[in-house]
């Protein structure tokens, strides 16, 4: 589940803020909570840049939660409108540090996203697919290893709500490769975007 609010502060000064409680296999337990916000500048209809900060809480069975802090820079770019749809890119560079070890972990994330109306000239429901790759750029004392980190792939639909707001519902596949710890997560993904 992801709840995101976004819009203009004034003129071309923009923001977004989001809350992401992530529920694991037990359904009754939250595996991770992310609080993320950013302010940015809209250079054109197709290009925006942001500076942001995220606080991540990772509950542990041992007792005390692990906290991760992230500063990040982000570029959103609408590449074009191929095949009567829209292709866009999101590039994010993160600086991460955690309460369970030393060092700042640098990580690069790149998302390519494509959406297409299911009806010609319609906007009520769009088919949606995206893929986001993660690459760790260095090693840290808390466990980040340089190299490929994970790949997230999503297929689903974007549904128009009131005004400019939308919801995205679909299937998210998450392949994680952290050295000897490799796993694949199958996620029912729901995101609500409140736009103004």
For residue 29, the model assigns a pLDDT of: 67
For residue 81, the model assigns a pLDDT of: 95
Q: Are 115 and 86 in contact (CB under 8 A)?
A: yes
The fold of 2-195 is: Porin (2.40.160)
How do 2-10 and 30-44 pair as beta strands?
unpaired
Closest CA to 129 of 166, 154, 159: 154
How far is CA 147 from each of CA 24, 86, 125, 136, 139, rounded to the nearest angstrom?
26, 30, 37, 5, 9
Q: Are 76 and 88 in contact (CB under 8 A)?
A: yes
Q: What is the mean pLDDT of each run of 10 residues along the chain (196 residues)?
A: 96 97 69 95 98 93 87 98 96 96 96 93 87 97 93 98 95 88 91 96
Q: How many CB atoms lie within 10 A of CB 184?
A: 11
For residue 122, the model assigns a pLDDT of: 64
How do 181-195 and 2-10 pair as beta strands?
parallel
For residue 178, the model assigns a pLDDT of: 74
Kindly compute the dihedral angle of the four CA atoms of residues 193, 18, 84, 172, in this order, to the nearest 10 degrees: -110
Hey, where are the domains in the chain? 2-195
């Amino acid at each position: 589940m992801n709840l995101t609010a976004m819009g203009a502060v004034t003129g071309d000064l923009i923001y977004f803020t989001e809350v992401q409680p992530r529920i694991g296999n037990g359904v009754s337990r939250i595996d991770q909570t992310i609080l993320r916000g950013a302010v940015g500048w809209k250079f054109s209809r197709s290009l925006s840049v942001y500076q942001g900060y995220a606080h991540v809480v990772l509950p542990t069975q041992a007792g005390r939660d692990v906290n991760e802090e992230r500063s990040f820079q982000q570029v959103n770019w609408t590449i074009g409108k191929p095949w009567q749809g829209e292709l866009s890119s999101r590039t994010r560079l993160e600086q991460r540090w955690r309460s369970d070890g030393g060092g700042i972990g640098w990580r690069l994330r790149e998302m390519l996203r494509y959406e297409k109306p299911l009806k010609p000239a319609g906007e009520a429901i769009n088919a949606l697919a995206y893929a986001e790759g993660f690459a760790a750029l260095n090693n840290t004392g808390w466990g980040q290893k340089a190299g490929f980190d994970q790949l997230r792939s999503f297929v689903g639909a974007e549904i128009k709500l009131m005004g400019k707001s939308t919801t995205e519902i679909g299937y998210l596949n998450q392949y994680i490769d952290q050295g000897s710890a490799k796993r694949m997560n199958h996620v029912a993904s729901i995101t609500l975007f409140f736009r103004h």
